[in-house]
A and B are shown apart, each in its own frame.
Chain A
Amino acid sequence: GAVVSQHPSRVICKSGTSVKIECRSLDFQATTMFWYRQFPKKSLMLMATSNEGSKATYEQGVEKDKFLINHASLTLSTLTVTSAHPEDSSFYICSASISTGKPQHFGDGTRLSIL
C-alpha cells in the first residue's frame, strides 16, 4: 500500500491564487521529504529538500519565495505555490524515505492547473 500520501490530487484555480499541497508520510516519520516537478512527457526535476524543523534547501533556479515549503512535523510537509500563474501549471510530486538507506517512495502527485 501507499507509504506517502499527497493531497489534493488535482487543483484548478485562477491566476494570482496561492495553492497549498500536502505531503504525508504514512506510518513512519520522515525527517526529510523531497519535492519534484514534472512537465508532460518529461522526467522529474528536484525542486527542494524539505527538512523537519528547519528551512528547506532549494535547487538552483527554484524561487523560494514562490514555492514555500514548511515541514512542521515528522509526517507532514507542505508546498505552497504563491500567487500562481499559468507557467506554474505542472505535476508536483513529493517523496520520502521510510528509513535511512532506503530508496524514496513517492506520493501520487498533484496536478496543478492555473487558468
Chain B
Amino acid sequence: QKEVEQDPGPLSVPEGAIVSLNCTYSNSAFQYFMWYRQYSRKGPELLMYTYSSGNKEDGRFTAQVDKSSKYISLFIRDSQPSDSATYLCAMSERTDSWGKLQFGAGTQVVVTP
C-alpha cells in the first residue's frame, strides 16, 4: 500500500464548475499538507500549505485536512481553462529543512471552455 493515494484522473469539468480533489494517506505522523500544481514540462508550483486539521482558503482555492480520517481535499471554485494541470498532494512529518515530502500520484484536471 502506498503511503499517499491519489486518483490520477483525468478529471474533466466545464469552465466555472468546482473542482474537487482529494488524497488519502496511511501515515498518522504526517502533520504538514501541501498542494502543488504542475503544468506540463514544468516543476510543481506551491498552491496551498496547511498544518494539522482544518480548512484554509486562498482566493479560489480551499484546502481541507481531516487527520482523523487521514483525508485531505482541495477545492477550486470558478474553475478556468488555465487551471488545467496536474495537481499533486504532498505531505511531511516535519517542517525543518530535512523534511521529506511524500507525494500522491497527481490528478490531471482538464477544464473545458
Contacts and interface: CB of A to CB of B under 8 A. Distances in A.
Interface of A: 4, 6, 30-32, 34, 41-44, 46, 49, 91, 93, 95, 97, 100-109, 111
Given A103-B32, A104-B101, A111 B41 contact: yes
6 contacts: A6-B43, A43-B88, A91-B41, A103-B90, A106-B44, A109-B41
Contacts of A49: 98, 100
A93 B43 contact: yes
B95 A44 contact: no
A103 B45 CA distance: 11
Interface size class of B (residues with CB under 8 A): 20 to 34
Contacts of A103: 32, 34, 46, 49, 90, 92, 95
Nearest to A109: B43
